[in-house]
């Protein structure tokens, strides 16, 4: 599909613009999102060709702002097709309804979501601190027997879709949707209960790390930590994330092991999204009051 689209557009767009279009092209259900070209005539041309080639696409939007704010949303402008922003997306045998304008969503994290789900063991209690419409939580609950996933998000619209997605995927009772700031929710309801905590919000992961640790059982557990990292060609972005996190954990007096670090994707020139699986070996008792070690 992408090859034939590229061929169709190659007469009207420069190679550089074509590369920009294809590196930013996301398909979420029947909605396509592109970030380039910024020239509106060219963008409409690309959008129309996308609709010709991808018969299942009903709307094409141009992303006109970076992902921003607490809810991690983006501004979109309709280029072609229907002006509707709710899509149904399939991943790992699950169905997710999402409003792509009012909630964060990226199909580019699909491999990572499955990777995490596959690490969870039966009977584990998991906390997803930044759950969005519930993809990590629901895939995990669907695949792993007897898991309980507390699934938190601060965005009321994402929470609404998360609740719908829990019902549609028949994981009601296994995934518990919680609306609020993850720090407040964990401190008031989820101290010392988890085998595993997911932190898929790079912008807040370091600040919320003490809260995440306080959610683990006293014998310890796993933290899945996400980061954005700048790295030159001589530098390893995983090592930079490890250094930052090691400093924080050491300052908190936590015993830990870094089990696995990885680069999930490039997010711009010399910028990377990284992930770190951290084994926390037992939690000091003062961790239940996270304010005491900030
Ligand atoms: C990068 S998205 C991750 C979404 C999800 N994990 C996924 O794979 O689609 C981060 C999410 O964290 C939520 N968020 C931001 N600050 C938060 C906070 N303090 N507590 C709970 N959720 C928060 C945002 O609303 C957003 O849905």
231 inside domain: yes
Kindly give the parts of the chain with pLDDT less than 50.
290-294
The domain that holds 114 is classified in CATH as 3.40.50.150
Query: Which ligand 1 atom minimizes the distance to the CA of 103?
Result: 27
Between the CA of 242 and the centroid of ligand 1 the distance, in Å, is 22
Same domain flag for 61 and 117:
no
**So what's the pLDDT on residue 288?**
55
Claim to verify: residue 130 and residue 265 sit in the same structural domain: yes
Quick one: 60 and 144 in the same domain? no
Tell me phi and psi for residue 257, to 5 degrees: -135, 135
SS3 of residue 69 by DSSP: coil
Kindly state whether residues 45 and 114 are assigned to the same domain: no
Question: Residue 8 belongs to what domain range?
Answer: 2-84
| Predicted local distance difference test score (pLDDT) of residue 293 | 37
Are residues 115 and 184 both part of a single domain? Answer: yes
User: Which residue CA neighbors atom 16 of ligand 1 most closely?
Assistant: 70
Task: Give per-residue pLDDT as tens, 54-97.
Answer: 999 999 999 999 999 999 999 999 999 999 999 999 999 999 99
What ligand 1 atom has the least distance to the C-alpha of 181?
Answer: 20
The alpha helices in 55-125, defined as continuous H runs, are: 110-119
77: domain CATH number is: 3.30.300.110
Distance between CA atoms of 106 and 264, rounded to whole angstroms? 12
pTM for the full predicted model: 0.93
Question: Does the beta carbon of 186 sit less than 6 angstroms from any atom of ligand 1?
Answer: no
Nearest CA to ligand 1 atom 11: 130
Return the ligand 1 atom nearest residue 112 CA.
8
**CB–CB of 242/227 below 8 Å?**
no
Q: In terms of Cα–Cα distance, which of 181, 93, 214, 75 is closest to 143?
A: 93
- Same domain? 122 vs 198: yes
Q: Please write the tens of the pLDDT for every residue from 191-229.
A: 999 999 999 999 999 999 999 999 999 999 999 999 999
């Amino acid at each position: 599909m992408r090859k034939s689209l590229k061929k169709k557009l190659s007469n009207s767009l420069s190679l550089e613009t074509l590369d920009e279009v294809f590196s930013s092209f996301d398909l979420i259900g029947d909605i396509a999102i592109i970030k380039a070209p910024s020239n509106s005539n060219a963008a409409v041309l690309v959008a129309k060709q996308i609709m010709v080639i991808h018969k299942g696409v009903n709307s094409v939007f141009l992303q006109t702002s970076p992902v921003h704010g607490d809810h991690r949303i983006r501004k979109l402008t309709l280029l072609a097709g229907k002006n509707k922003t709710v899509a149904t997306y399939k991943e790992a045998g699950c169905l997710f309804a999402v409003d792509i304008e009012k909630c964060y969503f990226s199909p580019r994290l699909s491999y990572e979501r499955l990777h995490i789900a596959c690490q969870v063991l039966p009977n584990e209690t998991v906390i997803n601190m930044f759950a969005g419409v519930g993809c990590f939580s629901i895939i995990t609950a669907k695949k792993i027997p007897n898991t309980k996933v507390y699934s938190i998000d601060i965005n009321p619209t994402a929470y609404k879709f998360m609740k719908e997605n829990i019902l549609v995927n028949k994981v009601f009772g296994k995934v518990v949707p919680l609306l609020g700031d993850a720090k407040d929710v964990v401190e008031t309801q989820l101290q010392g209960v988890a085998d595993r905590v997911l932190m898929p919000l790079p912008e807040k992961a370091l600040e919320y790390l003490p809260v995440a640790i306080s959610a683990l059982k006293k014998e310890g557990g796993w933290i899945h930590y996400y980061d954005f990292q700048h790295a030159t060609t001589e530098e390893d972005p995983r090592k930079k994330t490890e250094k930052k996190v090691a400093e924080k954990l050491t300052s908190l007096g936590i015993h830990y092991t870094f089990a696995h670090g990885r680069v999930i994707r490039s997010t711009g020139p010399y910028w990377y999204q990284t992930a770190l699986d951290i084994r926390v070996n037992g939690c000091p008792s003062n961790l239940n009051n996270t304010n005491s070690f900030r």
